[in-house]
């Protein structure tokens, strides 16, 4: 990241905030704040995912899908795109295979 900050924001996260012309839709400082939140969230979910895996022994994919659904709930504090990024990052941290995570379609958003 530029602007004197020491935070490195991965391209995968920056892409969440880019328009068709690759221009950022938010100021870089705000994207950095969102990144810190999402990275911290992924890091905090590691232990919970490991506990779920060892206690109830569902599949890794099922655990990640459940967490994705929870992050998409109203009041979770992250956008659907950020929720997807968090879960993919969580899979990376756990060294689990990332499941296919579909974003809600605009029609689903309108119905809610």
- Residue 9's region, left for phi above 0, alpha for psi from -120 to 50, else beta, is beta
**Do the Cβ atoms of 3 and 29 come closer than 8 Å?**
yes
C-beta atoms surrounding 41 within 10 Å = 21
What tokens does 23 get? 């221009």
| Predicted confidence (pLDDT) at residue 105 exceeds the cutoff of 90 | no
What tokens does 28 get? 């870089």
Question: What pTM was estimated for this model as a whole?
Answer: 0.84
Please compute the mean of the pLDDT values over residues 78-105 and round it to a whole number. 91
| Predicted confidence (pLDDT) at residue 36 exceeds the cutoff of 80 | yes
C-beta atoms surrounding 71 within 10 Å = 23
CA neighbor of 80 nearest in space, from 43, 32, 48, 112: 112
């Amino acid at each position: 990241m530029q602007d004197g900050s020491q935070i490195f924001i991965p391209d995968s996260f920056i892409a969440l905030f880019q328009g068709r012309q690759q221009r950022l839709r938010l100021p870089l400082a705000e994207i950095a704040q969102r990144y810190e939140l999402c990275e911290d969230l992924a890091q905090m979910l590691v232990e919970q995912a490991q506990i779920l895996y060892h206690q109830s022994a569902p599949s890794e994919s099922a655990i990640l899908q459940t967490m994705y659904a929870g992050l998409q709930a109203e009041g979770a504090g992250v956008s659907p795109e950020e929720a997807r990024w968090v879960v993919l990052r969580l899979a990376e941290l756990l060294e689990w295979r990332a499941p296919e995570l579909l974003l809600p379609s605009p029609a689903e958003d309108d119905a809610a």
